A and B are shown apart, each in its own frame.
Chain A
Amino acid sequence: MSYNVTIAVAKGRTLEAVRQRWLECGWDWPESSNSRQLWFPPDRARPGLIVARGADIPMLVQRGIAEFGIVGLDMLREHPTDGVLEVLDLDVAHCRLALAGAKMEWPDGPARIATKYQRVARDFFRRRSHPVEIVPLSGSLELAPAIGLAPYIVDVVQTGATLKAHGLYEISTVFHSSARLIANAAVWRTGNGMLSVYEQWKAVTGR
């Protein structure tokens, strides 16, 4: 009997980290001669797999294109989506969202912040009643202080090596992130035999 479940996984470090867990679930990892293949239908040996951008994973799950998704907590907080439930911390792809700048100092007065996490950054500073101007950037954030675009950035940090290489200091941690299993609310709450996928993930994460 073939699996009838599809899991959408965020490409990049989440996909790399999830591969081992996927194998521990007893499923084959889909192999393809075409490295650009991003959609692997379910078969007898494993659930289906969709590889997509992290920001798109909640929407794919909300629309029921994939019953489950795996994406970092950073993306879930930046892109909250109705009809999607965060059901399990997979304890892989650890990182943190951090405020960084050229000096090890909290911003003095209103500050300009370059980030691709606009919602998270706004919430972080609003909670501290600190006025900020958000500069939306989609990449190469570490350059922003050096080129005079913004003296501070809010970005994902894994080891801190990239910040150090650009002469930046980690001023404050916004929150810690790891990969999360998310589920379509209708699938989760009406079951239909698909929750065994969750049980398998739960077993391999030891939770």
Chain B
Amino acid sequence: MLTFLEEQRRQYQIFLNVTERLLEAGYGPLATEPYRQEAFRTDHTPAILEVVASFSPDTVEWPLKVFSTGPLFLPGRSRWTEAIDAEWVGPIGASEQRQVLDVVNASIDAFSSEGLPDADLTMVFGEVQWLRKLAESWGLSDDEIQDFVAQLKAGRLAAVDGYRERAGEAGWALLRPQPTTEFFSQLRRFVPEAKPPVLDQNWRSLWDLSLTGQRAYHTGLVFALHHDRTRQALISGGRFDLNVGGRTFSGMGFTVNLDAVREALREAEHVL
């Protein structure tokens, strides 16, 4: 019982640390319904945007920086997970993207301050627009590109094997994780304007264009922070475009999976 309570306490401490950093970065809390459209909530983002869409646009100061907390239902596992979801809603360019990634980094610092070593963390990045341009450069039709991206979003890497011959070895290698320098030296052969965001981080980073974000609304840079030993994603998110209530919202957000962070902390202590 004492161990159980201590783990709960540490998870709550992480929750406090992350939300404190979000407040410091100018993000405001926003409550969302855990039960919507006759189903339990599996994702905070649409719920947040429904609240935003209920206000007339001229009463909102853009960009809007908000976060929502609370459980998410995992249908495949019939259980709940605790999460924090932060969203930057509004026009987003390279500078704004950098600001969101700085907040992601601050959240990771919150894990480190509770004892999770940066050396155990790997951030994997993908970019949906670059993936589309890459597929265009292989000569895929619009329908084929749509299928290609949809299959990758569903995690069906085997299903896109039919495009391999047209991609060639150099193009196909961009669908496997690579260190930043190698990845961009390859990618610029197909997407000359591609360049990595400037990051100031202690964790390892890799690039892999097969990472497209799990949600249909992920349309640009996407990322997932993995813990090397528990093999779980502690943070995931990315650039989004989503139509809610007849209005299209753009921005960038991320979800902190608190249960996965707690498991990673448990594993880190076990190793120590």
A interface residues (Cβ-Cβ under 8 A, vs B)? 58-59, 62-64, 67, 79-89, 180-181, 184-192, 207
Choose from B76, B208, B233 the contact partner of A80 (Cβ within 8 Å): B76
Ranked nearest first, the 6 interchain pairs of A and B with the lowest CB-CB distance are A64-B231, A186-B226, A186-B231, A190-B122, A189-B124, A85-B155
Task: Report the bound CA distance from A63 to B232 in whole Å.
Answer: 7
Question: Which chain A residues border B155 with CB–CB below 8 Å?
Answer: 84-86, 185
What 1/0 mask marks residues of chain B from 178 to 214 whose CB sits below 8 Å from any chain A CB?
A: 0000000000000000000000000000101001001
- From residue 153 to 196 of chain B, which have CB atoms closer than 8 A to chain A? 154-159, 161, 177
Task: Report the bound CA distance from A79 to B77 in whole Å.
Answer: 9
Q: Is B161 in contact with A89, judged by CB distance below 8 angstroms?
A: yes
Task: Report the bound CA distance from A184 to B157 in whole Å.
Answer: 13
Q: Is B177 in contact with A59, judged by CB distance below 8 angstroms?
A: no
Determine how close the nearest CB of chain B comes to the CB of A55; give it in whole angstroms: 11
Question: Which chain A residues border B177 with CB–CB below 8 Å?
Answer: 188-191
Question: Which chain A residues border B228 with CB–CB below 8 Å?
Answer: 186, 190, 192
Question: Which chain B residues border A81 with CB–CB below 8 Å?
Answer: 76-77
Question: Which chain A residues border B208 with CB–CB below 8 Å?
Answer: 189
Question: Which chain B residues border A185 with CB–CB below 8 Å?
Answer: 155, 224, 226, 233
Main DSSP-derived SS at the B contact region:
mixed
Task: Report the bound CA distance from A184 to B208 in whole Å.
Answer: 15
Question: Which chain A residues border B159 with CB–CB below 8 Å?
Answer: 86
Determine how close the nearest CB of chain A comes to the CB of B168; give it in whole angstroms: 16
Question: Which chain A residues border B232 with CB–CB below 8 Å?
Answer: 63-64, 83, 186
- From residue 231 to 258 of chain B, which have CB atoms closer than 8 A to chain A? 231-233
Q: Is A207 in contact with B161, judged by CB distance below 8 angstroms?
A: yes
Can you list 14 A-B contacts (CB < 8 A)? A59-B76, A63-B231, A79-B76, A80-B76, A81-B76, A83-B232, A84-B155, A85-B157, A86-B159, A87-B158, A89-B161, A185-B155, A186-B122, A187-B231
Determine how close the nearest CB of chain A comes to the CB of B143; give it in whole angstroms: 17
Task: Report the bound CA distance from A26 to B233 in whole Å.
Answer: 33
Question: Which chain B residues border A63 with CB–CB below 8 Å?
Answer: 231-232
Determine how close the nearest CB of chain A comes to the CB of B79; give it in whole angstroms: 11
Determine how close the nearest CB of chain A comes to the CB of B155; give it in whole angstroms: 5
Question: Which chain A residues border B206 with CB–CB below 8 Å?
Answer: 189-191
- 7 additional contacts, CB 8 Å, given A64-B232, A207-B161? A82-B214, A84-B155, A85-B157, A88-B158, A89-B161, A186-B231, A190-B206
Question: Which chain A residues border B224 with CB–CB below 8 Å?
Answer: 185, 189
Q: Is B157 in contact with A87, judged by CB distance below 8 angstroms?
A: yes
Question: Which chain A residues border B157 with CB–CB below 8 Å?
Answer: 85-87
Q: Is A86 in contact with B76, judged by CB distance below 8 angstroms?
A: no
Question: Which chain B residues border A83 with CB–CB below 8 Å?
Answer: 232-233
| CB nearest to B122 among chain A residues | A190
Q: Is A59 in contact with B233, judged by CB distance below 8 angstroms?
A: no
Question: Which chain B residues border A89 with CB–CB below 8 Å?
Answer: 158, 161
Question: Which chain A residues border B227 with CB–CB below 8 Å?
Answer: 186
Q: Does B230 contact A (CB under 8 A)?
A: yes
What 1/0 mask marks residues of chain B from 70 to 93 whose CB sits below 8 Å from any chain A CB?
A: 000010110000000000000000
Determine how close the nearest CB of chain A comes to the CB of B27; give it in whole angstroms: 25
